[in-house]
Structure 1
Amino acid sequence: MLLSNTEYIPGHAISRHLGLVQGSTVRAKHAGRDIMASLKNIVGGELKGYTELLNESRQEALDRMQEQARHMGANAVINIRFSTSNIAAGASEILAYGTAVVLEQRVPPVPAGH
């Protein structure tokens, strides 16, 4: 499945728009990560535990969005966006959404004389 944050994919024509697809996950912070994050706030630096958590969450949201698109018969999702929100104390949602489409490969024109 092709994924793009643009409105089209070069070299392909959109033959059908199937509609909005989305995938989300809600994750809670780990107490151990909170302790380490508090220490990092004092000395500075990347919060690697949170970076990993966010990367895993984004991938899970994308996977769920792609699965929904497959069920609709799509072979691509365009105009993909991410959104985050706090659900409860210590828990956040990551949402991936886009437009499910069916793409056709464009056939380049054959040069004259061939």
Structure 2
Amino acid sequence: MKQIRKLNTIGEVDTFVQEPGLSFLYVSTPDCSTCHALLPKLQELLNDYPSVSFGHADATEVEEVAERFLVLAAPIMLLLIEGKEYLREDRFVRFGLLQKKLDRIVEHYA
């Protein structure tokens, strides 16, 4: 399974998204059933992308993350390249479409 990097502070989030390469940031809340259901599916999907780092921030623990990335509802999924947002998906994600988008971005970036 793809390893998830737990991001506990806004500093850790900032460092994660600024690292070289592709960073996938998952923002959730603990009381969100959709968040809990999507996380393992997302983790499985990202197994196919070894060049993509996977980070998770709890918006109730890292409150600044919502403001920094304009998160209005959880979950939110962001693909960033060296701090710049390239892809944003929300709670109603279609994994087939997400996979196609990831394929295009990863292929272009590589």
Give the TM-score normalised by the residue count of structure 1.
0.30
Determine which structure has greater relative contact order: mean sequence separation of CA pairs < 8 Å that are 6+ residues apart, divided by chain length: 1
Q: More strand per residue: 1 or 2?
A: 1
Q: More helix per residue: 1 or 2?
A: 2
Give the TM-score normalised by the residue count of structure 2.
0.31
